[in-house]
């Protein structure tokens, strides 16, 4: 008798499909619907922005993974980029992007190694960007870019670089 009940339950579980979207990746409803979780990424947390850096410092930026509505489309690659531009004398000059706001400080344009992940992989990527030893003191624009399927989304934040005391 229990074999018949188990077989009936399995038959119902395999043939009944939910009428609403899956509630969470890996759930029975998402498995039955034939969907898989997909992910998007954002960067950076407040700790990255609220740190005062020095020339030669390393910025370690952890990309945050989020589950997005899934579908049955083939996996797509996502390009994750991090770059640094500056220095600027003031935050206001940085925001108005007045090129070479302080020529005596020099100009820095650095990029972390581009990371490529698949939207179906639950990765936890980290970008590493070293501030050059000759970077001038001031404010820098830290820019993040996420690109997939011909679409690019960017964001930015402001960090501060100061020469070590005594220099």
The count of structural domains within the chain is 2
- Residue 88 and residue 112 in one domain: yes
d(CA 120, CA 94) in angstroms, rounded, equals 37
Q: Are residues 11 and 77 in the same domain?
A: no
Q: Are residues 29 and 65 in the same domain?
A: no
11-38: per-residue pLDDT in tens?
333 333 333 444 455 554 444 455 677 8
Q: Does residue 101 share a domain with residue 31?
A: no
What does the pLDDT look like over 94-123, one tens digit per residue?
888 755 555 555 578 899 999 999 888 888
Residue 22 in domain: yes
**pTM of the predicted protein model:** 0.71
């Amino acid at each position: 008798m229990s074999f018949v009940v188990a077989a009936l339950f399995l038959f119902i579980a395999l043939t009944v499909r939910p009428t609403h979207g899956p509630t969470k990746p890996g759930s029975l409803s998402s498995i039955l619907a034939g969907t898989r979780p997909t992910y998007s990424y954002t960067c950076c947390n407040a700790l990255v922005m609220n740190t005062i850096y020095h020339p030669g410092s390393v910025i370690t930026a952890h990309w945050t993974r989020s589950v997005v509505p899934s579908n049955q489309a083939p996996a797509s690659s996502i390009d994750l980029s991090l770059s640094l531009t500056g220095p600027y004398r003031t935050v206001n000059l940085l925001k108005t992007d007045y090129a070479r706001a302080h020529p005596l400080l020099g100009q820095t344009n650095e990029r972390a190694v581009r990371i490529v992940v698949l939207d179906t992989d639950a990765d936890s990527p980290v970008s590493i960007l070293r501030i050059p030893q000759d970077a001038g003191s001031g404010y820098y624009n830290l820019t993040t870019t996420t690109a997939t399927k011909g679409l690019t989304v960017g964001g930015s934040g402001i960090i501060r670089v100061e020469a070590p005391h005594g220099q």
